[in-house]
């Protein structure tokens, strides 16, 4: 089961130019809004025509500009979950699910619909209209409807963005359950890196229509291949950098020398560290013995229910002005322990947490 | 009193509305997803009978269906002639009612969320089935309003009908034409009677239209569309 995509399509602001291959493991497509994510799904589903390229699903050529092949959407057997779910408002849940089963005999339509209703936990809601369902139920109904045609691939366009926060957990569990049994190419488009990480195995980062990263999600989050990907995967601390002859790296915006766990193969033009990897040293002795320790002053803070983001300045004058060099994130319990200590504080950018990027 | 104008008017309007409904829907469905100068020009032609004086429409139809007109000649080969016959009342009423049907049907179809049509496509439905089972049911209130307006317009048709069908009592004499010739002949009582009938039918139609759209609104609230 493989979906292979290699397409180009001119958009208003840039050209969508993407090549990748998806197999049985779910693939998250992460990108900022307007990066071309939805257009990519629409091209695969056959709702938009790429300018050039080729799309194959298993042995079937769905689109090939060179051979002038363009299978219409209705023959692609690709299930698509729309961002607003696009349930037919004048049909009940059961009628929505059965829409794609039109060509089957009546009793088989009912059996399949019933199976999908129970699989998506919609029992008792079959006769309701979409309007009478909660957001999560609508989403499950749309998923059941897409699965009814026994699609050879599944495309999900921002499946969680229309839901309240407390529903997302439930819906995510439903999607994970679906992916676990689906075992066919499944693409999930999102602008939320945590969703992308939780729901996908593989990750494709899209930036202005181009593949900025593609591979295992762990690897991309641990060692982003570029500063752009680092930013898109939520890295808050990125500085321009330069290699020193002694094997250390000069972080230009942070005005310091940093030791790395190992020297990278590519030139380290950028260096980064994630906000939660910044260590706050509690004793001066600790600070004295270690490298990669910086003195910092607090510029401002921003609280979430359980954690606090600290905006740190590497010189007191800029801290005064509220300008920060680094963002650190700590649990509030820890913050309570050192918040009253006199500044400057000492933070450590551990060599094993630092990563460099060529571009 | 001779009731034939009522029967002729109702028969003419019913047939004209039926033709208009099918043709208007077909034209509106065709026009969807089409843009450009060609489509805009065709739009103009479809809507033209709404803005032209009925006498102009009638005269053009006369040129088209007359003995020397292209359609008239064609029909003559089958031994048929429509000018000054009952079908002429239907043709005149259809042509003037068509723009109302076309405009309302198009507006109603454009209101349907395109994502619903796309979802139907990914679910394997043919374009014809999508139109029948998704677009049309959702656009139906607008289409029905267009149907009633077309019927009312067909019922009130006078100028083009007179030009193309003339005034043949018992054959092409519709209510509006009966009224005109009653006034001409100074038969004020007869004119007033037909006026009352016309006003009555129109009130029932428009009242029915209002009632129906209200009922639809309540039903569509259940669907979540307003």
Q: What is the average per-residue pLDDT within A108-124?
A: 93
**Contact list, A46 vs chain B (CB under 8 Å):** 121-122
Question: How much of chain A, in percent, has pLDDT values that exceed 90?
Answer: 56
What residue segments make up the domains of chain B, in order of their start?
4-175
The angle formed by the CA atoms of residues A45, A51 and A56, to the nearest 5 degrees, is 45
Residue A285 is predicted with a pLDDT of: 65
CB contact under 8 A, B223 and A149: no
Q: Which long-range contacts (CB under 8 A, 24 or more apart) does B29-34 make?
A: B29/B109, B29/B131, B29/B135, B31/B106, B32/B106, B32/B109, B32/B110
Residue B125 is predicted with a pLDDT of: 94
Residue to test with chain B: of A79, A99, A132, most B Cβ within 10 A: A99
Least-confidence region, from A63-72, B135-144, B212-221: B212-221
CB contact under 8 A, A47 and B123: no
Residue B49 is predicted with a pLDDT of: 93
pLDDT in tens, A260-306: 888 777 888 999 999 999 988 877 666 666 678 888 888 899 998 88
Q: What is the average per-residue pLDDT within A203-220?
A: 92
Q: What is the average per-residue pLDDT within B102-123?
A: 94
Specify whether the CB–CB gap between B208 and B144 falls below 8 A.
no
pLDDT in tens, B71-100: 988 988 888 888 999 999 999 999 999 999
Residue A322 is predicted with a pLDDT of: 81
CA distance B23 to B111: 20
Q: Is the pLDDT of residue A20 over 90?
A: yes
Confidence of residue A166 (pLDDT cuts 50, 70, 90): confident
**Contact list, A138 vs chain B (CB under 8 Å):** none
Regarding the domain with residue range B4-175, which homologous superfamily does it belong to in the CATH classification? MetI-like (1.10.3720.10)
Residue A92 is predicted with a pLDDT of: 94
CB contact under 8 A, B123 and A45: no
Residue to test with chain B: of A62, A82, A89, most B Cβ within 10 A: A89
CB contact under 8 A, B122 and A131: no
CB contact under 8 A, A99 and B123: yes
**Contact list, B138 vs chain A (CB under 8 Å):** 89-90
Chain B CB within 8 Å of residue A88 CB? yes
Q: Out of A74, A78, A80, whose CB is closest to B125?
A: A74
Confidence of residue B226 (pLDDT cuts 50, 70, 90): very low
CB contact under 8 A, A90 and B138: yes
Mean pLDDT rounded to a whole number for chain A: 90
Residue A80 is predicted with a pLDDT of: 96
pLDDT in tens, B180-192: 999 999 999 999 9
* Residue located via tokens 């009612």: B97
**Whether the bond into A172 is cis, omega within 30 of 0:** no
Q: Which CATH number fits domain A3-227: 3.40.50.2300, 2.30.40.10, 3.40.50.300, 3.40.630.10?
A: 3.40.50.300
Residue B63 is predicted with a pLDDT of: 93
Question: Nearest-CA distance from B219 to chain A in Å?
Answer: 10
Least-confidence region, from A172-181, A220-229, A265-274, B211-220: B211-220
Chain B CB within 8 Å of residue A252 CB? no
Nearest CA in chain A to B126: A74
Residue A93 is predicted with a pLDDT of: 96
CB contact under 8 A, B123 and A100: yes
Helices (H) and strands (E) in chain B, counts: 11, 0
**Contact list, B122 vs chain A (CB under 8 Å):** 45-47, 73-74, 76, 78-80, 146
Q: Is the pLDDT of residue A112 over 50?
A: yes
Confidence of residue A210 (pLDDT cuts 50, 70, 90): very high
Residue A344 is predicted with a pLDDT of: 85
Closest CA to B29 of B119, B134, B120: B134
Q: Tell me whether residue A261 is exposed, middle or buried, using C-beta atoms within 10 angstroms of its C-beta: 0 to 12, 13 to 18, 19 or more.
A: exposed
Residue A284 is predicted with a pLDDT of: 67
What residue segments make up the domains of chain A, in order of their start?
3-227, 235-359
Specify whether the CB–CB gap between A188 and A202 falls below 8 A.
no
Cβ atoms < 10 Å from Cβ of A157: 24
**Contact list, B123 vs chain A (CB under 8 Å):** 74, 99-100, 145-146, 148-149
Pairing of strands A186-190, A153-157: parallel
Q: Is the pLDDT of residue A225 over 60?
A: yes
Question: Nearest-CA distance from A252 to chain B in Å?
Answer: 49
CB contact under 8 A, A149 and B120: no
Q: What is the average per-residue pLDDT within B19-33?
A: 90
CB contact under 8 A, B123 and A78: no
CB pairs under 8 A between A and B: 75
CB contact under 8 A, B115 and A75: no
Q: Is the pLDDT of residue B225 over 60?
A: no
Residue to test with chain B: of A73, A75, A162, most B Cβ within 10 A: A73
Q: Is the pLDDT of residue A241 over 60?
A: yes
Q: What is the average per-residue pLDDT within B7-30?
A: 94
Strand order of the β-sheet with A202-207 is A69-70, A60-64, A52-57, A3-10, A15-22, A210-216, A202-207, A27-30, A186-190, A153-157, A78-81
CB contact under 8 A, A80 and B119: yes
CA distance B206 to B203: 5
Residue A286 is predicted with a pLDDT of: 66
Cβ atoms < 10 Å from Cβ of A301: 12
CA distance B194 to B181: 11
Q: Out of A75, A80, A129, whose CB is closest to B222?
A: A129
User: Per the confidence metrics, is the pTM higher than 0.90?
Assistant: no
* Model ipTM value: 0.83
């Amino acid at each position: 089961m493989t979906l292979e995509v290699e397409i180009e399509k001119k958009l208003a602001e840039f050209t969508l130019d993407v090549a990748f291959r998806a197999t049985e493991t779910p693939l998250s497509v992460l990108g900022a809004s307007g990066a071309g994510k939805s257009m990519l799904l629409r091209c695969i589903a056959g709702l938009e025509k790429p300018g050039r390229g080729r799309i194959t699903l298993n042995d079937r050529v769905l689109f090939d500009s060179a051979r002038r092949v363009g299978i219409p959407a209705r023959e692609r057997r690709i299930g698509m979950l729309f961002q607003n779910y696009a349930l037919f408002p004048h049909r009940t849940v059961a009628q929505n699910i059965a829409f794609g089963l039109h060509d089957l005999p009546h009793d088989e339509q009912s059996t399949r619909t019933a199976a999908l209703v129970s699989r998506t936990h919609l029992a008792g809601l079959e006769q309701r209209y979409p309007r009478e369902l909660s957001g999560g139920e609508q989403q499950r109904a749309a998923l059941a409807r897409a699965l009814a045609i026994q699609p050879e691939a599944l495309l999900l366009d921002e499946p969680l963005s229309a839901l309240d926060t407390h529903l997302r957990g439930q819906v995510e569990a439903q999607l994970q359950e679906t992916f676990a049994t689906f075992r066919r190419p499944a693409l999930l488009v999102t602008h939320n890196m945590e969703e992308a990480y939780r729901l996908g195995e593989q990750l494709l980062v899209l930036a202005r229509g181009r593949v900025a990263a593609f591979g295992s999600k762990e690897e991309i989050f641990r060692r982003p291949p570029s500063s752009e990907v680092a930013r898109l995967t939520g890295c808050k601390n990125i500085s321009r950098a330069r290699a020193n002859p002694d094997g250390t790296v000069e972080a230009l915006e942070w005005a310091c020398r940093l030791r790395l766990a190992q020297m990278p193969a590519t030139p380290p033009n950028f260096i980064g560290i994630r906000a939660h990897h910044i260590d706050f040293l509690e004793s001066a002795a600790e600070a004295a013995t270690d490298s990669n320790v910086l003195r910092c002053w607090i510029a401002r803070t921003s609280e979430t229910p359980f954690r606090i983001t600290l905006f740190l300045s590497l010189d007191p004058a800029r801290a005064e002005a509220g300008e920060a060099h680094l963002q650190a994130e700590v649990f509030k319990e820890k913050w309570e322990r050192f918040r009253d200590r006199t500044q400057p504080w000492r933070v450590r950018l551990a060599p094993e947490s630092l990563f460099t990027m060529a571009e | 009193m001779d009731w034939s104008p009522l029967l002729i008017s109702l028969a003419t309007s019913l047939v004209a509305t039926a033709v208009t409904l099918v043709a208007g829907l077909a034209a509106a469905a065709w026009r969807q997803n089409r843009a450009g100068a060609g489509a805009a020009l065709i739009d103009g032609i479809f809507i033209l009978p709404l803005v032209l004086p009925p006498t102009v429409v009638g005269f053009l139809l006369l040129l088209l269906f007359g003995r020397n007109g292209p359609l008239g000649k064609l029909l003559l080969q089958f031994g048929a002639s429509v000018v000054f016959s009952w079908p002429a009342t239907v043709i005149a009423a259809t042509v003037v009612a068509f723009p109302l049907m076309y405009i309302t049907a198009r507006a109603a179809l454009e209101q349907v969320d395109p994502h619903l049509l796309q979802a139907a496509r990914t679910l394997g439905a043919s374009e014809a089935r999508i139109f029948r089972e998704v677009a049309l049911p959702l656009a139906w209130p607008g289409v029905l309003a267009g149907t009633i307006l077309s019927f009312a317009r067909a019922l009130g048709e006078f100028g083009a009908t007179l030009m193309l069908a003339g005034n043949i009592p018992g054959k092409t004499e519709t209510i509006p034409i009966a009224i005109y010739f009653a006034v001409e002949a100074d038969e004020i009582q007869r004119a007033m009677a037909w006026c009352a009938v016309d006003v009555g039918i129109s009130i029932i139609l428009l009242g029915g239209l209002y009632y129906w759209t209200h009922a639809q609104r309540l039903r569509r609230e259940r669907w979540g569309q307003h």
